[in-house]
Amino acid sequence: MSNERLEVLGGLPLFEPLSPDERERLAAGCRMRTFARGAALFREGERADGMHIVLRGVVKVVRFAPDGREMVLHLVRKGNTIGEAAMFQKGTFPASAVAVDDVETLFLPADALFTLVTENPEMALRMLAALSLRLRMFAHKLAAQGQGGAACRLATYLLHRRQIGGGDCIRLGVSREVLANLLGLARETLSRQLSRFSEAGLVELRGKDIVILDVPALQATAAEGDR
């Protein structure tokens, strides 16, 4: 039994309802996987045979337009899961997951997880709550992209990252091109807006880190999209 796999499962709130024996059973069926930058964890249309827990790196969930243009739906970072919604539907993946940099995951096969969910109703409820939260966040993201300009979208994103990360220093972990795609902006537009925020004293740019300096100003900018 891999202690590393047990530690990963034990550190996630999702699996807290499991007894030590149940956790060991699940860990025994898990597999550690590594993906080089640009490699696909799974592709749109493939059978959803399990879910991943991201241990290292960043994963982008993407779909492709008819003209071949890549559309980034969201980013998955360390400690978060990916693929569980399609897995529970026992269907195919509706989008592709691609490693932004070198990525390591813990892969949980569907069969092993279904067995435990059937035996442990509390875990099933937690997974349902987690999926519902992700759906609400995704709906909020779509709404934010559909209204407001570049300043509103960028401010909303930075405030969201601050909220989930618990600090004013935002580590992007992805290129500006990927972030621009996520926000529905051109890369040049994103760069200009970051420079404007910096010049106005809202943020400080430190390489791939963005330090938030003026939260109220960002909140006011984000609120403009609701008008």
Phi and psi dihedrals of 79, rounded to 5?
90, -5
Give the separation between CA 215 and CA 135, rounded to whole angstroms. 26
Q: Rounded to an integer, what distance in angstroms lies between the CA atom of residue 89 and that of residue 94? A: 11
Q: Model's pTM, two decimal places? A: 0.68
CA distance 222 to 120: 41
Dihedral, 23, 26, 32, 35 alpha carbons, nearest 10: -110
Domain map of the chain by residue range?
3-143, 147-226
In tens, the pLDDT along 178-200 reads: 888 888 888 899 999 999 999 99
What's the CATH class of domain 147-226? mainly alpha
pLDDT, tens digit (0-9, with 9 covering 90-100), for 32-91: 999 999 999 999 999 999 999 999 999 999 988 777 778 888 889 888 889 888 888 788
Surface-to-core class of residue 129, CB atoms within 10 Å of its CB (0-12 exposed, 13-18 middle, 19+ buried): exposed
3-143: which CATH architecture? Sandwich (2.60)
Strand order in the sheet with 50-56: 31-35, 103-109, 50-56, 81-82
